[in-house]
Amino acid sequence: MSFQDRVAVVTGAASGIGRQTAEALARAGAAVALVDIDLEGAARAAKEIESAGGSASAHGADLSDVAATRELLRGIARDRGRLDILANIAAIYPRMPTLELTEEHWDRMLDLNLRGVFFACQEAIRLMLPRGSGAIVNIASGAAFFPIAGLAAYAASKAGLIAATRVLALETARTGIRINTVAPGPTETEGIDDIFTEEQRRELADAMAPGRWRVPGEIADAIVYLCSDAARGVHGAVLNVNGGSYMP
Catalytic residues: 154
Q: Which residues pair with residue 36 across a beta bridge?
A: 60
What Rg, from alpha-carbon coordinates, does the chain have? 17
Q: How many CB atoms lie within 10 A of CB 156?
A: 17
CB of 32 closer than 8 Å to CB of 25: yes
The three-state secondary structure class of 124 is: helix
146 CB-near residues (< 8 Å, 6+ apart): 245, 246
The amino acid present at 143, given as its one-letter code, is A
Pairing of strands 55-60, 238-241: unpaired
Report whether 67 contacts 122 (CB < 8 A).
Answer: no
What element of type H or E holds 154? helix 152-172
